[in-house]
């Protein structure tokens, strides 16, 4: 799942979560279905966690390592240089990503969507809006914050399980219909 803010069409395609070896390789958490495409997406740049600094970068090589991935970055040739990049995101413009198939979307497209459920009698209940997504390992979770029109002021964590919980995602209307009891 990729994060971006509304003012920039940039998406975090990977996060540097550590270092690997002594030759400047970094450990990555990759937010792409095909991590190998990291080497072909252009342009790429690094941003720190607060997106204050931004500089060009090129991923030269990516390979699976354990449960994650490791990569070599242009100009990063030793462990010390790699260590300085821990916590940075590798970003690309959204326009550099391949076109999505119908029905597919990027995680950041869900942020700001209104989340609704039915009361069992056909009435829709507004649970709030998606604030961000949480990766738990088992399944992703929508963090839904109260909005002006929501039923109460609670924050809800709703698992992203298609079919069981997530019934319909309508990006054109910015609405996600869920099967979720308001008291849960």
Give the per-residue pLDDT at 167. Answer: 95
Whether pLDDT at 5 is above 60: no
What domains appear along the chain, each with residue ranges and CATH number?
Answer: 10-96 (2.40.30.60), 107-178 (2.30.30.240)
Please give the torsion angle defined by the CA atoms of residues 52, 56, 59 and 60, in that order, rounded to the nearest 10 degrees: -150
Under the banding of pLDDT at 50, 70 and 90, the label for residue 7 is very low
Q: What's the mean pLDDT in 49-54? A: 78
Render pLDDT for 92-105 as a digit per residue (tens, 0 to 9): 988 888 777 777 77
What is each CA distance from 139 to 1, 27, 62, 68, 165, in whole angstroms? 12, 22, 25, 17, 12
Render pLDDT for 106-133 as a digit per residue (tens, 0 to 9): 777 898 999 999 988 889 999 999 998 8
Task: Give rounded-to-5 percent helix, strand, coil for the chain.
Answer: 10, 40, 50
Tell me the pLDDT of the chain averaged across its residues: 88
């Amino acid at each position: 799942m990729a994060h971006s803010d509304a003012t920039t069409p940039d998406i975090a395609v990977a996060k540097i979560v550590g270092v690997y070896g002594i030759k400047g390789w970094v450990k990555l958490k990759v937010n792409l279905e095909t991590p190998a495409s990291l080497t072909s997406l252009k342009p790429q740049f690094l941003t720190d966690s607060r997106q204050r600094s931004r500089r060009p970068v090129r991923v030269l090589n990516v390979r699976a390592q354990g449960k994650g991935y490791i990569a070599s970055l242009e100009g990063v040739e030793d462990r010390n240089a790699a260590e300085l990049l821990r916590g940075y995101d590798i970003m690309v413009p959204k326009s550099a990503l391949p076109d999505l198939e119908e029905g597919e979307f990027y995680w950041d497209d869900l942020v700001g969507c209104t989340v609704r459920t039915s009361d069992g009698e056909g009435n829709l209940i507004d649970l709030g809006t998606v604030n961000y997504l949480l990766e738990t390992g088992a399944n992703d979770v929508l963090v839904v914050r109260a909005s002006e029109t929501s039923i109460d002021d609670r924050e809800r964590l709703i698992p992203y399980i298609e079919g069981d919980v997530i019934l319909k995602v309508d990006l054109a209307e910015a609405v996600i219909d869920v099967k979720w009891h308001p008291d849960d």
